[in-house]
Amino acid sequence: MHQEIINATADAFPSFSLEGARIEPLNDIGGSGRRYLRIHPDSGKSIILMEYTDARPDNLKFISAGRILSKIGNKIPEILHHDERKGRIWLEDLGNRHLWDHRESPWTEKRRLYKAVIDEVTKLHSFDIENLSAAEKANLEPPFDANLYGWEQDYFFEHFLGHYSRRAPSYLNALREEPEFANLATELASLPRTLVHRDFQSQNILLQDNCPYMIDYQGLRMGLPTYDIASLVHDPYVHLSDDQREELINYAFRNQDSRQHHEAYTRCAAQRLMQALGAYAMLSNGSEKRHFLQYIPTALESLREILEKEVILPSLLPYLSDEALSL
């Protein structure tokens, strides 16, 4: 298999010296199913090969999303070559350092990095979609609307509560019918949308020379900028204190109506954490990627804290207690 990849790379890059090339498999720590390899040629800089399938439809949007981000001016690894027939994309190698790798760094360092990341995603959120062509708009993933928010909630009920709740299915079914869930989806869908990354968290941000580069951006679509910021600030992969979160939220929305964005932010944070808990449960129990189990307690505690402070989903909170769950 490795020799076939070397041959394909030689066809894509005739000037490369690949006779003694080495292939380094990269750990797939995400839930996408994509495979990443680092190719070390005989001389010169290494490159990354991403192999994908159409098992997830958004994988097919990677190239078009990357072109849009480049048009906006967002930093992404350069796309060097695409073999659509084989499902292979060769990318610029920007190394292995993610924002996640700074999770234990002092706050003075993390603050600087997080603000740079927020500045980068603000370029995306500030872009006028009318500057995209009809074809570019058509290649975006379906926008966040009430149906998509409802799908995320169903994902949470099916995979997280359905697996870990001590309550009978009839109780969960009755909970799912509570109007507060549909109301949350409707409220979020009614707010003005911009382009969003969709999975904006520490493992999807590469750092080179302390400059952030977006990766795994194939879910690019119209949505709420507060959803991206909530994804970043309530990222279960990295612990941030309440004060640190508040500082970053204030920085992200410093030029806007703070009260309006605080309300949208807390609702987006609750929505995003439900989606994350559904994903961790599905990946851990359905795809046997057991390492995702370690992030469930952090995401669960964050969701509890939000629901205790804000009247968003009052019927859900009792179902998230230690007594109500079997983790």
Going from the first residue of the chain to its last (327 residues), give the mean pLDDT of each consecutive group of 10, the final group possibly shorter.
85 86 75 82 89 87 97 98 95 96 97 98 97 96 98 98 97 98 98 97 95 97 97 97 95 78 89 97 83 95 96 96 95
Q: Letter for the amino acid at 204? A: N
Sheet strands (E) in the chain: 22-25, 35-40, 47-51, 79-83, 88-92, 194-196, 205-208, 211-214, 221-223
Closest CA to 273 of 153, 177, 111, 123: 153
pLDDT at 29: 44
Sheet strands (E) in 61-109: 79-83, 88-92
pLDDT at 290: 84
pLDDT at 257: 67
pLDDT at 302: 97
Instruction: Please report which helix (H) or strand (E) contains residue 155, including its range.
Output: helix 146-155
CATH numbers and ranges of domains, the chain: 2-92 (3.30.200.20), 99-320 (3.90.1200.10)
pLDDT at 83: 96
Spatial neighbors of 62 by CB under 8 A, at least 6 apart, are 50, 52, 89, 217, 218
Q: How far is CA 71 from CA 106, 122, 123, 197, 221, in A?
A: 34, 15, 11, 15, 15
Q: How far is C-alpha 189 from the chain's CA centre?
A: 19
Question: CA 25, CA 2: separation in Å to the nearest integer?
Answer: 10
Sheet strands (E) in 1-69: 22-25, 35-40, 47-51
Q: How many CB atoms lie within 10 A of CB 57?
A: 10
pLDDT at 32: 64
State whether residue 303 is helix, strand or coil: helix
